Amino acid sequence: MNSDIIIIGAGPGGYETALYAAKKGLSVTLFEERRAGGTCLQEGCIPTKCFCRSAEVADTVADSQTMGIITSAPTVDMARIVARKNEVVDQLTAGIEFLLKNKLITYVPERAELLDAHSVKSASGETYTARHMLIATGSTAKIPPIEGSGLPGVVTSTQLLDIDHVPARLCIVGAGVIGLEFASIFRSLGSAVTMLEFAKEILPNFDTDISKRLKQVLGKRGIEFFNQAGVKSIEPNGPALTVRYTWKNQEHTVEADTVLIATGRAPRVEGLGLDRVGIHYSPKGIETDDNLQTNVPDIYAIGDVNGRCMLAHAASFQGRKVIDHLLGEKSNIDLHIIPSAVFTRPEAGMVGLTEEECKQRGIAFTAKKSLFRANGKAVSMGEPDGLCKLIADENGRIIGGHIFGAHAADLVQEVSALMNRGTTIAQLKEMIHAHPTLSEVLQECAREF
């Protein structure tokens, strides 16, 4: 079978690119060995947000007395939480599969392997050809070489999403986005949570002001942090587990019922036939240029597999950029402005440069902050913990936005939109914001300049 483009992988990057290509009149053959939706829908963004919502409800009920609502203490039904998560995933998966019933899209629910620059072989042995290839195979959980990481009770985020109980004691190795979200979730559901992070700060890629304050607030919620901690081994201890780690030049242990390994993701490159075709790649992912093109003409790679930015929305827009490039159409997509968020309680969000990055690159900048505790909506919501930080270059143009607090993930999108249009701090000051809203923290921050 011949088509204009073959896409390997039906995650957000793959299936959204397929739909966009078909809308542009291109014929597509789309391969997926698992379920449509990829990591994001099946074991990442969407399932964890289901858990986040359950945790938020548990917190709301537990805190209801402060709002004048008297209730009994909440009881957590983990089986029902998981069942609801599965219902949401199934509903959205069915929706994607329905969209893929497009006359220009041939959906093949099988694994595909590259034969050459223009053809692949499916798991069932059929050969498919196309003028262009797009690799969008995503990533897998990265497991460090820790002795005992294969023991029962030691899980990845995928396995934790199907757990049938709330662990009394949860130890999380890695305080990045994945680790922190699960720490916040299971603390709300009743777990005692200990986090072991090798780096100096949590959320190493976030602005230090945000990561430090988020750590402080999560610590007040009872999550215990050990930064610059090196995990040495995990050992069975009856029905429990003992995690051995070094911290401040001494060996320590922590007992846990479940240990989550949350040390990041690795590009899914195995078994694709990259070596056969001569595609350049490394442990960081498939090498691509600014058009997401590999060193082999007509083969592109998007999303987690190229290691540029492991976010679902980054993959989707990289795919759009590829199709625009293939069709010779001008694209205004700026892949340097990609917002990201951490759905802890409170949330954290960022876009653009951090203060540390500006210093490293020698960029002249000004940074100012505003606090949620001065925002009427935040205080009335009972969510006064929060910080907004804006960074502007020497011309006053906004080059970075960093927020932690209620609905930070939504608020940072306004900063992203402003940055995409080259907005200055002076212009933001003059944009009327509704009152009372959380978004006023952005305008108040601008007024600090």
The residue to which tokens 């990041």 are assigned: 264
Output the DSSP codes for 18-30. Answer: HHHHHHTT--EEE
Its sign, for the CA torsion 428, 429, 432, 435, is positive
Gap between the Cα atoms of 88 and 250, Å rounded: 45
Report the binding-site residues for FAD. Answer: 49, 137-139, 304, 310-313
Gap between the Cα atoms of 399 and 353, Å rounded: 6
Gap between the Cα atoms of 62 and 345, Å rounded: 14
Gap between the Cα atoms of 71 and 343, Å rounded: 26
For residue 208, how far is the Cα from the chain centroid? 19
Gap between the Cα atoms of 289 and 297, Å rounded: 11
Given a contact cutoff of 8 angstroms between Cβ atoms, the answer to whether 314 and 306 are in contact is no
Question: Comparing C-alpha atoms, which of 433, 437, 442 is closest to residue 379?
Answer: 437
DSSP class of 268: -
435 is catalytic: yes
Residue 440 is which amino acid? Answer: E
Report the binding-site residues for NAD(+). Answer: 174-181, 197, 264
Report the binding-site residues. Answer: 49, 137-139, 174-181, 197, 264, 304, 310-313
Given a contact cutoff of 8 angstroms between Cβ atoms, the answer to whether 356 and 211 are in contact is no
Which residues are CB-contacts of 432 (< 8 A; sequence separation ≥ 6)? Answer: none
Given a contact cutoff of 8 angstroms between Cβ atoms, the answer to whether 3 and 130 are in contact is yes
Q: Which residue among 165, 280, 336, 435 is the active-site one? A: 435
The residue to which tokens 């029905």 are assigned: 239
Gap between the Cα atoms of 321 and 21, Å rounded: 11
Given a contact cutoff of 8 angstroms between Cβ atoms, the answer to whether 411 and 354 are in contact is no
Both structure tokens of 166 = 């709330």
Calculate the dihedral angle through the C-alpha atoms of 446, 447, 448, 449, rounding to the nearest 10 degrees.
Answer: 70
Gap between the terminal Cα atoms of the chain = 60
What residues are labeled active site? 435
